[in-house]
């Protein structure tokens, strides 16, 4: 448990109920190889943390950006809580060093690992909420995630890539883009998709993600780059 203690100190969090921390950092695959571990996997905490995260981010944006319309606030929130951003923050705070995985999962350093890290971040938020209430979870989110808002605004990462690509495609080619699933794999709890963004029958860009929606957004981003429609 030494690593977990260091992890708590590094993040300035302290669990009264350590079992919640162990659960938050236990991936389903770890239990397959370590059935005597004694703690459940983190998917239920992930479910709870997702809702807490959305509330905390929504509350912050509502209070701090009184002049922004609902559409902008929704897009900024989506950019903050999407899997890619959560995986980035999870990596920065060291979740990758403490999350418990099977030997097979531990070797994966691609998109699958990013999804695991994003889910573990949400599970950690859920665990903090159960252990210390909303204030504890909110304080953690304010420290670790909310500072990313400035970067999102500066780089306009909150824009909806699909909407921009559609506008440009209609303007430049008089066609509406279509999205088609090229590949999908993985069990139900860890699906992955590759989606192609097409104008007519021409494949412009591909994107990958843990859901069709995220893969479509990534495909639209890549299509915008390919066409130099940034």
Among 50, 105, 131, 216, the one annotated catalytic: 50
170 — phi, psi (to 5°)?
-70, -35
What's the token pair of residue 19?
Answer: 């079992």
What's the token pair of residue 67?
Answer: 């002049």
- DSSP H helical segments within 34-110, as ranges? 43-64, 70-81, 83-92, 95-98, 103-107
Q: Is 122 an annotated catalytic residue?
A: yes
Round to whole Å and give the CA distance between 129 and 141: 11
The number of helix segments (H) and strand segments (E) in the chain equals 12, 3
Round to whole Å and give the CA distance between 40 and 216: 33
Give the distance, in angstroms, between the CA of residue 177 and the centroid of all CA atoms in the same chain. Answer: 25
- Three-class secondary structure of residue 122 per DSSP: helix
Among 23, 46, 105, 122, the one annotated catalytic: 122
Q: In what order do the strands lie in the sheet with 202-209?
A: 178-185, 192-199, 202-209
Bridge-based pairing of strands 192-199 and 178-185 is antiparallel
Active site residues: 50, 122
């Amino acid at each position: 448990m030494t690593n977990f203690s260091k992890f708590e100190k590094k993040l300035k969090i302290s669990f009264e109920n350590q079992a919640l921390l162990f659960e938050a950092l236990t991936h389903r695959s770890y239990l397959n190889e370590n059935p005597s571990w004694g703690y459940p996997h983190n998917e239920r905490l992930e479910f709870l943390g997702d809702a807490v995260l959305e509330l905390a981010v929504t509350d912050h944006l509502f209070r701090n950006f009184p002049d922004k319309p609902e559409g902008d606030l929704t897009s900024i929130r989506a950019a903050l809580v999407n899997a890619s951003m959560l995986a980035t923050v999870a990596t920065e705070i060291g979740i990758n060093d403490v999350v418990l995985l099977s030997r097979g999962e531990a070797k994966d350093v691609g998109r699958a690992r990013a999804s695991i890290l994003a889910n573990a971040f949400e599970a950690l938020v859920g665990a903090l909420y159960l252990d210390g209430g909303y204030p504890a979870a909110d304080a953690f989110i304010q420290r670790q995630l909310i500072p990313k808002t400035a970067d999102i605004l500066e780089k306009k990462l909150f824009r909806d890539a699909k909407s921009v690509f559609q506008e440009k495609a209609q303007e430049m080619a008089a066609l509406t883009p279509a999205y088609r699933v090229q590949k999908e794999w993985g069990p139900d709890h860890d699906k992955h998709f590759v989606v192609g963004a097409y104008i007519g029958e021409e494949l412009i860009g591909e994107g990958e993600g843990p859901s069709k929606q995220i893969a479509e957004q990534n495909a639209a981003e890549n299509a915008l780059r390919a066409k130099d429609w940034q």
